């Protein structure tokens, strides 16, 4: 683990560690790290991320709430994000040499704080076909119906609306990353789906979702956001996402922002819901996105997996808490 080795060299003192795995059904953390610093020793519930962004903060806060001895290890933690992590009591270290470890142990307190280190160079990542704009749609297909992992490439391509080569490359990528492993000579096992979901959410939030945005809006004067449940949807082409969908699925949140996914024209949506384009002087209350899948199941909300992604990408601790409730109710059997 390069971050640990680099920290040990930088501190110029005894720093050793051991790794322990969790039970397969426990997907909250990646592994348990037994860290020895001088004469102090502590067990840390650890999350490893290649790339960490502010949109990951809500889940990290949720993990910290479940473990006071929580540690994030990443390739690089920016100074802006590092400050937010410290404010929320999240310990971290990265390959560049930045670290914040603040723990009390039976032997002695541990406080290590190194800031301002820059990576030698930011390597250009090879294109991962599972997480391109088109590939994300195929990966979403796999995640939402894992029981169909052995469907022919042609069937998947038709249902997703992409070319055969796109599905082939996504399947190759998932195989190379060991999300798909051979069960027999002719069938796959779909494994580590929780880890794949985390990667999908991050890529969806930063790569595909911005390209789907139709617009941000406010409500006309006299229209109350809290009455949204009384507003009929204009048809099956339009569905609730984000907070309203989470409210319908969990009854645990009162939406402060409305998200819609649609195949209908922008002007139709604006007229139906009586929306006005949000100017820079007003905080938008409604966001509308284009649907990237081809068929719907008749529910007034999008798939719970997409609702979960919407919540986790907000950076809100409140939404992260609701997302975990949603996960346990709707997704644990699908993903774990």
pLDDT digits (tens, 9 = 90+) for 285-325: 999 999 999 998 899 999 999 999 999 998 888 998 999 99
What local confidence, expressed as pLDDT, does residue 58 receive?
84
What local confidence, expressed as pLDDT, does residue 17 receive?
81
What local confidence, expressed as pLDDT, does residue 107 receive?
80
What local confidence, expressed as pLDDT, does residue 9 receive?
64
Cα 89 to Cα 63, 108, 125, 297: the distances in Å are 11, 19, 31, 41
Residue 185 to residue 150: CA distance in whole angstroms: 12
What local confidence, expressed as pLDDT, does residue 28 receive?
78
Q: What is the pTM of this model?
A: 0.82
Q: Which domains does the chain have, with CATH numbers?
A: 2-114 (no CATH), 129-191 (1.10.10.10), 212-335 (no CATH)
Give the residues of the chain that fall short of pLDDT 70. 1, 6, 8-14, 22-27, 121-127, 280-281
What local confidence, expressed as pLDDT, does residue 135 receive?
97
């Amino acid at each position: 683990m390069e971050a640990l080795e680099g920290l040990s060299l930088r501190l110029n003192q005894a720093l050793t560690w051991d790794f322990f795995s969790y039970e397969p059904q426990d997907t909250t953390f990646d592994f348990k790290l037994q860290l020895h610093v001088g004469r102090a020793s502590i067990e840390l519930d650890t999350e490893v991320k290649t790339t960490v962004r502010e949109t990951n903060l809500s889940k990290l806060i949720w993990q910290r709430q479940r473990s006071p001895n929580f540690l994030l290890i990443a390739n690089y933690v920016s100074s802006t994000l590092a400050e937010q992590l410290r404010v929320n009591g999240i310990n971290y270290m990265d390959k560049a040499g930045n670290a914040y470890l603040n723990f009390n142990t039976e032997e002695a307190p541990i406080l290590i704080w190194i800031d301002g280190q820059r990576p030698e160079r930011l390597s250009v990542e090879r294109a991962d076909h599972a997480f391109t704009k088109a590939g994300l749609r195929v990966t979403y297909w796999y995640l939402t119906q894992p029981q169909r992992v052995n469907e022919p490439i042609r069937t998947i391509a038709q249902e997703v609306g992409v070319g055969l080569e796109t599905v082939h490359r996504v399947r190759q990528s998932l195989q190379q990353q060991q999300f798909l492993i051979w069960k027999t000579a002719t069938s796959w096992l779909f494994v580590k789906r929780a880890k794949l979901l985390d990667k999908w959410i991050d890529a969806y939030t930063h790569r595909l979702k911005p390209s789907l945005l139709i617009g941000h809006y406010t409500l006309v004067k006299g229209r109350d956001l809290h009455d949204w449940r009384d507003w009929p949807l204009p048809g099956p082409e339009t569905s609730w996402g984000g907070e309203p969908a989470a409210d319908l699925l969990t009854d645990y949140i009162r939406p402060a922002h409305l998200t819609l996914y649609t195949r209908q024209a922008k002007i139709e949506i604006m007229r139906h819901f009586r929306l006005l384009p949000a100017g820079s002087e007003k905080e938008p209350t409604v966001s509308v996105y284009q649907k990237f899948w081809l068929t719907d199941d008749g529910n007034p909300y999008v798939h719970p997996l997409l609702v979960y992604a919407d919540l986790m990408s907000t950076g809100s601790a409140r939404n992260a808490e609701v997302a975990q409730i949603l996960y346990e109710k709707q997704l644990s059997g699908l993903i774990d």
